[in-house]
Amino acid sequence: MAYIKKTVRENCLKLKETSMTFEDIYNIVFSFKDNVMAEYNTLMGPQSVTYKEAQDNIESISVAIMKEYGTGEFIGLYAENCVEWIELFWAILRSGNKPCLINLRQPVAFSKGILDTLSVKLVLCKDECPDFCRDSLSFEALLEKGRKHNQKDKTDFANEFALSTSGTTLKEKICIYSGKEVSCQILNILSMQEINPGLVETYKGKIKMLAFLPLYHIFGLEAMYLWYSFWGSTFVFLSNMNPDNILYTIRRYEVTHIFAVPLLWEAVEKSLLRTIATRDEKTQKKFEKATKASLKLQKFSPAVGKVFAKLFLKDVRSRLFGNSVRFCISGGSAIKESTLRLINALGYELYNGYGMSEIGITSVELSRRVCERIEGSIGKPFDSVEYKIGEDNKLFVRGESICKSVIVEGDKLPTEGFFDTGDVMECDKRGCYHIKGRISDVVFGPDGENLNPDFSEDAFTLSEAEALSVLGNEDNSKLILVVKLSSQLPHAKLNSLKEKILMCNAELPSSYQVKEFYYTLNPIMDSMAIKVSRAYLRKAISEGRVVLHSFEEKPNEENVDEDSEIRLALRELFCKVLRKTPDEITDSGHFMNDLGGTSLDYFALVGEIDNRFGITLGFESEQFGYCIDDFERIIKEMIS
């Protein structure tokens, strides 16, 4: 670890002495010639790529782009996380062009609009691009073109890239970053590692980052990739997003660092508690005592507490991440305190962080004291930014690392001065900040009190729910709960589920208690989103795409008919494309996350569905489907 800390200090000093452009960052990142840059698994077994091998591809591709497509333009980059994404990103910059990072989890209408706004004519991808992507070229085609040229030909680095926000605001918003802002973001790591050495802690002398977060998100690009490539770390790529595969990959490749959204951490908590609930009473009490004891010991001595966790929670840890994980960050949205407590109790240091597409990553709770970690603080602002709490307790941010400009609905706006995040914050006595919600989500209670739905939402832990959201009703005067259930959930379970909801609700202060409860069989979030957007859900309810039912209302039999002609045909097509048997396909199983499909498999499935039912599935948000339940609903709507 001492060697890593020294490398970080030296590289930060080198960067400070440059003009802090993307070319300067590139030269430092790819100075680690012999270091393994990436590890991943294929049908041929484990594979690895060194920084030198990646650099050779980058130089070949960049020359091909420059000679055949010119310079000075925005070029789209369309791919899930893979080695090729990294190589294409740097190749576009090195060719004198600017990467436009296409968010694969956004509604396609957003992506189309962004490409139009930036006048993107060419899109690069790993394999094949969807139809909306204009002229496109695959990685292999570009590499072949590049090898016909002299890869050492002089090119002029571009110094900008564009990425879009998550789309939860339902507005087209593009953020432009230059090398200066990104360099200032990277330089934050210098003081961060001094506060918490866990950021650069190794296992068997190595740092291995799980490449879980999408590289086209600011969290994935800046914190996961750029921070850790800056000292030659290894990135472990996933072959698919199946939960079992994620855990296997972490253990198999001895991953040391995991940065993820709350969705992952809360899914781990939910799965673990569900498993524990199936055990006998003695085992349940033993687990509960062990997690409580672990936190108590960690408060007294972090080292002793983690040794205790390794010994007394050995079986649980061996089925989760194993013993290599050293440092974890949750970011992207608020995380439940219960999740923070459980993951930390297991001996995995999980910290809460904060950032946005417009401002980058601006703070992370870095306290080594577990009692402070589990409070949910997002820490203090990094050296490159300044926080200010303004009217309505909204957080305003300014600094050197926030994006240089924002394009909203086609209009370019500067980001000088303080940026209004729209998040409601509180600052504690340590000077650390706590997210209290978004100002747009605030509900106005009957006594005039501003109510944050997140506070109420955290109270509902429902294993039967695929997703849930607490939000304001139509006139934002009271809180309602919407629970997404599987169509296969027996109607008899609705009563017991409602009882559980009422028990959770009773634990809340009266002003924060939910007044109306509904369930739905329709998706309450975009199929490619990583979190529930209340704005999206409100729009879906108003347009009738999400139909709400009271818990006394019996589900429409049409929705739960497992043997309907459409459902049987869809199961057959899922089996054909995924090469699985019918008993391996569940009606609510996500095509990629649960069933192991790839993006190419998905496009093949859509083609099969089009041919079978004589329809044309678009890629607008309301026509996205990722499970049999989704596709059945979409097909019925289109046929009718």
Say what the pTM is: 0.75
Residue 6 domain flag = no
Residues 84 and 120 in one domain: yes
Residue 312: band (very low, low, confident or very high) from pLDDT cuts 50, 70, 90: very high
Give the per-residue pLDDT at 128.
Answer: 76
DSSP 347: T
Residues 251 and 343 in one domain: yes
Amino acid at 602: Y
Amino acid at 538: R
Residue 11 domain flag = no
581-599: average pLDDT: 77
Residues 241 and 357 in one domain: yes
Min mean pLDDT across 119-123, 319-323, 384-388, 613-617 is at: 613-617
447 vs 118, residue with greater confidence: 118
CATH code: domain of residue 530: 3.30.300.30
HSE of 54, CA atoms in CB hemisphere, 13 A: 31
CATH code: domain of residue 610: 1.10.1200.10
Residues 352 and 252 in one domain: yes
- Backbone CA torsion sign across 473, 476, 478, 480: positive
Give the per-residue pLDDT at 166.
Answer: 54
Give the per-residue pLDDT at 113.
Answer: 86
Q: Are strands 479-484 and 467-472 parallel, antiparallel or unpaired?
A: antiparallel
Residues 423 and 347 in one domain: yes
Give the per-residue pLDDT at 640.
Answer: 62
Query: Which of 164, 188, 208 is the endpoint of a domain?
Result: 164
CA distances from 142 to 38, 55, 148, 165 (A): 21, 15, 10, 28
Residue 147 domain flag = yes
Residue 608 domain flag = yes
Query: Which of 164, 185, 203 is the endpoint of a domain?
Result: 164
201-221: average pLDDT: 94
Each residue's pLDDT tens digit, 100-123: 999 887 767 778 889 999 999 999
Give the per-residue pLDDT at 270.
Answer: 82
Residue 80 domain flag = yes
272-297: average pLDDT: 91
Q: What are phi and psi of 219, to 5 degrees?
A: -65, -45
Residues 374 and 317 in one domain: yes
CATH code: domain of residue 62: 3.40.50.980
Query: Which of 526, 555, 584 is the endpoint of a domain?
Result: 555
HSE of 430, CA atoms in CB hemisphere, 13 A: 16
Q: Which residue's entry shows tokens 């290894």?
A: 234
Residues 434 and 464 in one domain: no
Residues of the domain holding 532:
443-555
> What does pLDDT average to over the chain?
86
Is pLDDT at 526 greater than 70 in this prediction? no
- In the chain, how many domains are there? 4
Residues 421 and 335 in one domain: yes
Residue 529: band (very low, low, confident or very high) from pLDDT cuts 50, 70, 90: low
Residue 323: band (very low, low, confident or very high) from pLDDT cuts 50, 70, 90: very high
Give the per-residue pLDDT at 621.
Answer: 39
450 vs 172, residue with greater confidence: 172
Min mean pLDDT across 26-30, 54-58, 481-485, 536-540 is at: 536-540
Residue 17 domain flag = no
Residue 201 domain flag = no
Is pLDDT at 620 greater than 70 in this prediction? no
Is pLDDT at 89 greater than 80 in this prediction? yes
Instruction: Residue 178: name the closest of 157, 197, 164 by CA.
Output: 157
CA distances from 259 to 109, 147, 222, 230, 510 (A): 29, 36, 11, 16, 36
Instruction: Residue 202: name the closest of 344, 327, 377 by CA.
Output: 327
Give the per-residue pLDDT at 445.
Answer: 60
Each residue's pLDDT tens digit, 461-520: 887 888 899 988 876 778 899 999 877 676 667 888 888 899 888 888 777 788 889 999
Residue 211 domain flag = no
Residues 480 and 534 in one domain: yes
Each residue's pLDDT tens digit, 404-417: 999 988 888 777 88
Contact 225, 231 (CB under 8 A): no
**Which of 169-173, 210-214, 499-503 has maximum average pLDDT?**
210-214
Residues 303 and 340 in one domain: yes
Residues 497 and 537 in one domain: yes
Residues 154 and 299 in one domain: no
